[in-house]
Amino acid sequence: MADGAIRDIRERPIDELPDELRTVFVARVDGMKPGQFAKLFALTLETVEARLHNARSLLGEVLVRQLGPAFGGVYQLDDSRFDRITNALMDRLFPRQ
């Protein structure tokens, strides 16, 4: 049961990403290098990297919205600490390869 809930928390936000972000993100998680993706889809490397960044940012926002209520405002974070924690969470859920 817990594994299914965790999988939903992790996968549903990916499924809801815009196609252009989801495609790049999933390819990266599956091990494709940004340069390979850029060449395959005739994009610039900068475009691919921007899409990866945007996908990770959106996923971080979704996870914070989903998980934030569970913490009930217990933790008050400044922006830099919030960013560090969000990035650490994203790295654990979606490791960069």
CATH number assigned to the domain comprising residue 73:
1.10.10.10
List, in order, residues 6 or more apart from 17 with CB less than 8 Å away.
Answer: 25, 55, 58, 59
Number of domains, the chain? 1
Single pTM value for the model = 0.66
Could you please report the per-residue DSSP string of 35-47? HHHHHHTT--HHH
Q: Which domain holds residue 12?
A: 2-93
pLDDT tens for each residue of 5-64? 667 767 888 888 999 999 999 999 888 999 999 999 999 999 999 999 999 888 888 877
